[in-house]
Amino acid sequence: MSRNPRYDILFEPVRIGPVTAPNRFYCTPHALGTGNAMPHTRAAMRSIRAEGGWGVVNTGYCSIHPSSDDAPLPFARLWDDEDIPVHALMVDAAHRHGALAGVELWHGGGGAGNRMTRMPMMSASGIVGESTYPGWMNLAGSRAMDKRDIREFRRWHVDAAKRARSAGFDIVYVYTGMSFGPYQFLLPWMNRRTDEYGGSLENRARLTREILEDLKEAVGDRCAVALRFSTDELLGVPGEHMESEAHEVVSMLSDLPDLWDLKSSSWVVETASARFAEQGAQEPFVGFAKALTSKPVVGVGRFTSPDAMVSQIRRGILDLIGAARPSIADPFLPTKINEGREDEIRECIGCNICVSSYHDGVPVRCTQNPTMGEEWRRGWHPERVPPGDGETSVLVVGAGPAGLECASILGKRGFEVTLAEAGKDLGGRVTIESKLPGLATWARVRDYRTYLIESMANVAVYRDSPLTARDVFEFGSDHVVVATGAEWTTDTLGSNGYPCAGFASDAVFTPDDVLAGANLEGPVVIYDFDHYYMGGCLAELLRGRGHEVTLVTNANAVSAWTFMNNEMAEVRSRMIELGIRTEFENTVTGFADGAVELTGVFRDRTVRSIDCGALVIVGVRQPNDRLYRELVADEDGSARAGISSVRSIGDCRAPGAIVHAVYSGHECARTIEGGEEVEPIAWERPKLFDR
Ligand code: ADP
Ligand code: SF4
């Protein structure tokens, strides 16, 4: 297939200072969950995007000096020459695929915790931003930088840029954003200096200007010097669009950087999940810049639609289409557009599991792309799979995310696949949950895989087919994969913090009941000790149906886990907006006579009651594994049917998030011949050396 001429503009080269990007697909710097200790993993995670057609791939934040240390969060570093080879690995791989490689040089100033290096933090005036989450709080303060510090700060940038050039990077960044070093000079409330670096905007922008000039002089003959700049806090109230200092900064520095990489100051806003922001939601923060500079502008917006990308360029918003999440979900997005296969794009669903992985300190995991982070250690490619023998047959029972992923990869490998689904719809939980407020994009997990399966002659799909063990034995395939999911229980959380049997009442419901259309009456209490999206989404859904809703949780925040995927603040705001009451740090210890009894989780154990007609418990899921257990219990039946392996995958094996189900289905499909045997995995190991 050939490219739709409508998308030709996306494949135009773009000049960036002394280098040229081969197209407009720009993989922006983003946290990857790998530090310098995982160079192979990191290089593979980046270079797979270059292979997939992204014209530029960047590192995540890369510390220029030990005084900028973000431990325990994984960050890259270029502290001395020993750090060059680990970066060269990624650069060489990117170059092999014809992409440019960029490095996001970073000094966190008062925003880096320095928990590992134990060096004092430094900032414009010794003021650091206030944190509202314990994990971000730091007991150490920062000291105000004197003139010598500023000279050193500039020198560290130059030294790191020279190392970056030695590693082969084509683009080096100055990072004036997101509460980091030079940005702290820019923000008037963090900069109280009275010297030439404080006061007027020109003074507050001086450090950024100087570093840009330093880098241009030091490496600008060969490397483009990009400025990553955050806008919205300078625009006034975060999120509001009004002319202010951000406009002045772009006008003032206009053509000094070779590239403007614009982003929102708030990571929460910049990475807003699909539940809270549409594709292209950054436009109000960045759309003004192109009128103020002749240099190329890049920005992100969770762009997965080539038409939306073209629109950004044609309307003069961006020159390069920046992407983190869309490039994680589909490293081959540009190639697919180039080859007229845009229907095959594995579109990011905006769930932000990738963000949570970084906070977890592990390589990025992705709901849509189970190969992300596995490129090096398991040799998984997002588009290529090892061929099967073309004869072996596999029966997959259940067409949720796990079953669909498994069947589509088995099909791609060339096996004879039968996918049996009890219901009339494919998609399992994503089909149901994508009807929750804000989760419509989650149906992409189903749609992408269904689209692939429908084009495969070797995959037969049977709907309305609830299989029993007898059916499976009668069918008699070489391998059986059971992907029958899980269901919510009415177990409650006991006072010892562990789930236990719940309350006997017709007015107690699970999320499955609510989603299946159960009739709830009166005020509703949702007791959430799952802490992810379900409690908050059900609260929204039921409030939308006119119920008084109170969300009770034993945590001290609503949907507490969503701090990890950057959704928590938005969830809380939504609850407030909708008038959903919240009761934190409480367990539900009784439900009778139209009221729930709440008991405080701390030692005083205060007991109160709230009137309610229905109690929804969002806590524990149990595997729907009866079929699997029956199959493995009957070894003779399997032998008679010629079945050589029976495996369970996804929620049927261990209930988890959708990302776990997809991964489990993918892994099973790649390893079907080996049964439960764990494939050897390559681990990165430190090299021992003498001091
Ligand atoms: P996962 O997230 O692990 O993919 P889901 O709950 O989303 O799990 O999907 C499980 C799917 O399995 C559902 O679509 C359900 O209808 C289907 N299913 C459950 N039991 C059977 C069965 N006995 N035969 C066929 N399909 C089944
Ligand atoms: Fe997109 Fe979710 Fe994958 Fe992140 S984890 S790239 S948000 S699909």
**pLDDT tens profile 18-67:** 999 999 999 999 989 998 989 999 999 999 999 999 999 999 999 999 99
Of the candidates 670, 661, 674, the one whose C-alpha atom is nearest the C-alpha of residue 404 is 661
- Looking at 97-101, 233-237, 474-478, which range is the least confident one? 233-237
Whether 281 contacts 264, CB under 8 Å: no
Q: What is the pLDDT of residues 130-169, one digit of tens each?
A: 677 777 788 888 999 999 999 999 999 999 999 999 999 9
The closest-lying atom of ligand 1 relative to the alpha carbon of residue 420 is: 25
Q: Check pocket membership of 346 for ligand 1, CB cut-off 6 A.
A: no
- Phi first, then psi: what are they for 433, rounded to 5°? -75, -25
- Phi first, then psi: what are they for 259, rounded to 5°? -155, 135
Q: What is the pLDDT of residues 526-565, one digit of tens each?
A: 999 999 999 999 999 999 999 999 999 999 999 999 999 9
Whether 98 contacts 115, CB under 8 Å: no
Mapped onto helix, strand or coil, the DSSP state of residue 410 is helix
Per-residue pLDDT, 574:
96
Of the candidates 542, 516, 518, the one whose C-alpha atom is nearest the C-alpha of residue 528 is 542
270 vs 637: which has the higher pLDDT: 637
Site of tokens 């509703």: 524
User: Using CA atoms, how far apart are residues 299 and 440, in angstroms rounded to an integer?
Assistant: 24
User: Using CA atoms, how far apart are residues 433 and 276, in angstroms rounded to an integer?
Assistant: 16
Strand ordering across the sheet containing 607-611: 586-592, 595-600, 607-611
Cα–Cα–Cα angle for 274, 280, 285, rounded to 5 degrees: 115
Examine the pLDDT at 234 and tell me if it is beyond 70: no
Q: Check pocket membership of 422 for ligand 1, CB cut-off 6 A.
A: yes
Output DSSP code: residue 383: S
Per-residue pLDDT, 241:
46
Q: Check pocket membership of 466 for ligand 1, CB cut-off 6 A.
A: yes
- DSSP strand pairing (524-528 vs 549-553): parallel
Of the candidates 163, 185, 2, the one whose C-alpha atom is nearest the C-alpha of residue 111 is 185
Confidence at 256, pLDDT banded by 50, 70, 90: very high
Its pTM surpasses 0.75: yes
What are the angstrom distances between the C-alpha of 547 and each of 129, 551, 552, 618?
Answer: 39, 12, 15, 17
Q: What is the pLDDT of residues 297-312, one digit of tens each?
A: 999 999 999 999 999 9
Whether 78 contacts 84, CB under 8 Å: yes
For residue 19, the one-letter residue type is V
Q: Check pocket membership of 351 for ligand 2, CB cut-off 6 A.
A: yes
User: Using CA atoms, how far apart are residues 54 and 22, in angstroms rounded to an integer?
Assistant: 9
Confidence at 212, pLDDT banded by 50, 70, 90: very high
Q: Which of 275, 325, 364 to mutate to test the pocket of ligand 2 (most atoms within 8 A of CB)?
A: 325
Confidence at 238, pLDDT banded by 50, 70, 90: very low
> In angstroms, what is the C-alpha Rg of the chain?
27
Question: What integer is the mean pLDDT of 325-337?
Answer: 98
- Phi first, then psi: what are they for 77, rounded to 5°? -150, 150
User: Using CA atoms, how far apart are residues 215 and 156, in angstroms rounded to an integer?
Assistant: 11
Per-residue pLDDT, 584:
95
Q: Check pocket membership of 511 for ligand 1, CB cut-off 6 A.
A: no
Of the candidates 452, 276, 299, 266, the one whose C-alpha atom is nearest the C-alpha of residue 350 is 276
User: Using CA atoms, how far apart are residues 411 and 417, in angstroms rounded to an integer?
Assistant: 6
Per-residue pLDDT, 43:
96
Per-residue pLDDT, 145:
96
Per-residue pLDDT, 675:
72
Examine the pLDDT at 8 and tell me if it is beyond 80: yes
Examine the pLDDT at 683 and tell me if it is beyond 60: yes
Per-residue pLDDT, 647:
97
- Looking at 180-189, 398-407, 566-575, which range is the least confident one? 180-189
Question: What integer is the mean pLDDT of 479-502?
Answer: 92
In the reported structure, the alpha carbon of residue 335 is separated from the centroid of ligand 2 by a whole-number distance in angstroms of 19
User: Using CA atoms, how far apart are residues 389 and 329, in angstroms rounded to an integer?
Assistant: 29
Per-residue pLDDT, 243:
59
Question: What integer is the mean pLDDT of 596-619?
Answer: 90
Residue nearest to atom 19 of ligand 1 (CA): 484
Q: Check pocket membership of 325 for ligand 2, CB cut-off 6 A.
A: yes
User: Using CA atoms, how far apart are residues 656 and 668, in angstroms rounded to an integer?
Assistant: 16
Per-residue pLDDT, 559:
97
- DSSP state letters, 656-687: --HHHHHHHHHHHHHTGGGTTPPPP-----PP
In the reported structure, the alpha carbon of residue 657 is separated from the centroid of ligand 2 by a whole-number distance in angstroms of 13
Confidence at 239, pLDDT banded by 50, 70, 90: very low
In the reported structure, the alpha carbon of residue 491 is separated from the centroid of ligand 1 by a whole-number distance in angstroms of 21
In DSSP terms, which residues pair with 557 in a beta bridge? none
Per-residue pLDDT, 139:
86
Examine the pLDDT at 235 and tell me if it is beyond 70: no
The closest-lying atom of ligand 2 relative to the alpha carbon of residue 347 is: 8
The closest-lying atom of ligand 1 relative to the alpha carbon of residue 651 is: 3
Examine the pLDDT at 179 and tell me if it is beyond 90: no
Query: Which listed ligand is nearest to 512 at the C-alpha?
Result: 1
Per-residue pLDDT, 16:
98
Site of tokens 């498994």: 406
373 vs 689: which has the higher pLDDT: 373
Element (H, E) at 461: strand 459-462
Cα–Cα–Cα angle for 619, 556, 518, rounded to 5 degrees: 35
- Residues of the chain with pLDDT > 70: what percent? 98
Whether 27 contacts 58, CB under 8 Å: yes
Q: Which of 366, 374, 442 to mutate to test the pocket of ligand 2 (most atoms within 8 A of CB)?
A: 366
In DSSP terms, which residues pair with 611 in a beta bridge? 595
Q: Check pocket membership of 429 for ligand 1, CB cut-off 6 A.
A: yes
Examine the pLDDT at 258 and tell me if it is beyond 70: yes
Average pLDDT of the chain?
A: 94
Query: Which listed ligand is nearest to 567 at the C-alpha?
Result: 2
Whether 403 contacts 411, CB under 8 Å: no
